[in-house]
Amino acid sequence: MRGADAVVLGAGPAGLGAGLALARAGADVVVVEAEERVGGLCVTRRRDGFGCDLGGHIPFVRDEARRAWLESLLDGDLRWVDRPVSSVRDGRIVRGRYLDQRPSPPEPPGEADDTARGFLAARFGPDFTDTHLRPYLEKIDGVPLERVPAERVRRLLEDQAAPDGFWFPRSGIGQLMDAMAAAIAEAGGELRLGTRATALQLRGGRAAAVDLDGGGGAEAITTRQVVVGLPAALATSIAVPPPPPDALAAVRMRAVALVYLVVERQRLTPEPWIQVDDAAVPFSRAFEPVNWSGDLAPGGRTVIGMECYCNASGDDPVWGLDDDALVAACARALADPLGWLDDPALARPLEVVRLPRAYPVPDLAQMPAVIAPSRWLQEQEGVHLAPGAAVIEAIAAGERAAAEALSGARAAGDISSDADIL
């Protein structure tokens, strides 16, 4: 049986961030990933000459140190996209997200409470919240603003914003994931693809081992430090012995169907990313990769990716459509009401991708069940969580979890390296 200073579960941005930090700090680290590729939700798929991310992925870089980290990892292969996210208002594309628009003249503030409605009304006024912010936010999350936690919109407003534009890997967000994987190997870390963690073994409330299935039979790695780079609920579902039932409660998830359409034109719009609040339009966000980087589309043609947020059930008006019907509905919307195409027949389908479990529905009523698995895992010694609702946030969470794992391994005398984590 192999032993390791630390095992990282999952090679999405969180797991890669943790694996890279641990490997660079001199730890003997194994990163295990169920898929045959790294990146999790952050992959760039190559189709018919186009590079399409699995949904528009803006890296929300908050400081110069992180920008320099990106630059060095990608060997300078970054480009500045100087257009912030746009939105559609009164049939026109305007600069800024719905959350960036402001009432004119300003409105007297409403009363704050712990809901998204209260949070927004206190900042921007109740009328503006209801007429301009509510339709888009409810279209995305599928619950009334009165049931969404205030923290959800605070994070969208403040943490997940790129008001002036953003740095982006020239070949798509997957390029960053591949660069992190290469850097882990270069620093001496081990990355096992096509390897599923089937059990997180705990002894007396401490991490002890991880069981793996890599296709070639079962294997276990003994370790006293485990970084969880996958949703906490997935990690609790493989814990042995299992946690109490409240850490395993079912949670309603929001789904997204991604529709990619090709148009024989240089560009459809000048915008990288546009939010659409109209309930009659099946998608809530549309991204045009050629406006993120010229390397993502062959000359003379463009692709538009549309993110349709919905519930993964047959009676959902979006998810319930078969792929052909969904493609037709998106193409029709591009022509009318959006007016970006003269004729829906000018758009041809490239691909439809369905993600049935994109994120937990942010409903106050189910937040205790959403949080319970993380709470329980945090109580297990040597288990470190790397939660991240956005790419850079997930990488940073992975690095923080790596720092905890490193100090745990040093305290236990398992590792002698004294290198710093970053």
Ligand X SMILES: Cc1cc2nc3c(=O)[nH]c(=O)nc-3n(C[C@H](O)[C@H](O)[C@H](O)COP(=O)(O)OP(=O)(O)OC[C@H]3O[C@@H](n4cnc5c(N)ncnc54)[C@H](O)[C@@H]3O)c2cc1C
The binding site for ligand X (CB under 6 A) comprises 9-15, 32-35, 40-42, 55-58, 60, 196-197, 229-230, 234, 256, 307, 355, 358, 388-391, 394
Distance CA 37, CA 170 (A): 19
Rank residues 42 and 318 by Cβ distance to ligand X and give the closer one.
42
Of 204, 189, 200, 195, nearest to 227 by C-alpha is: 200
Q: Which is nearer to ligand X, 14 or 121 (CB)?
A: 14
Please identify, using beta-carbon distances, which residue of 78 and 121 lies nearer to ligand X: 78
User: Residue 8 or 341: which CB sits closer to ligand X?
Assistant: 8
3-state secondary structure of 210: strand
Query: Are residues 40 and 176 in contact, defined by beta-carbon separation less than 8 angstroms?
Result: no
We find the least distance from the C-beta atom of residue 216 to ligand X, in angstroms, to be 15
Count, residues in the chain:
422
- Give whichever of 2 and 196 is closer to ligand X, judged by the CB atom: 196
Q: Least CB distance from residue 261 to ligand X, whole Å?
A: 16
Phi, psi (5° rounding) for residue 307? -100, 110
Q: In terms of CB distance, is 10 or 125 closer to ligand X?
A: 10
* Least distance CB 103 / ligand X (angstroms): 26
CB 243 within 8 A of CB 378: no
Cis peptide before 105 (omega within 30 of 0): yes
Could you give the CA distance from residue 173 to residue 167 in angstroms, rounded to a whole number? Answer: 11
Strands 218-222 and 253-263: unpaired
Residue 174 CA to residue 109 CA, distance in Å, equals 42
Pick between residue 36 and residue 64 the one whose CB is nearest to ligand X: 36
**Per-residue tokens: 312:** 């993964």
**Between 121 and 395, whose beta carbon lies closer to ligand X?**
395
| Distances in whole angstroms, Cα of residue 264 to Cα of each of 55, 283, 359 | 21, 21, 34
The 347-360 sheet, strands edge to edge? 92-95, 86-89, 273-275, 285-287, 302-310, 253-263, 347-360
Least distance between ligand X and beta carbon 300 (Å):
27
- DSSP code, position 133: I
CB of 421 to ligand X, least distance (A): 18
Which 3 state secondary structure label does DSSP give 238? coil
Min separation Cβ 316 and ligand X, Å: 16
SS (H, E, C) 87-100: EEECCEEEECCHHH
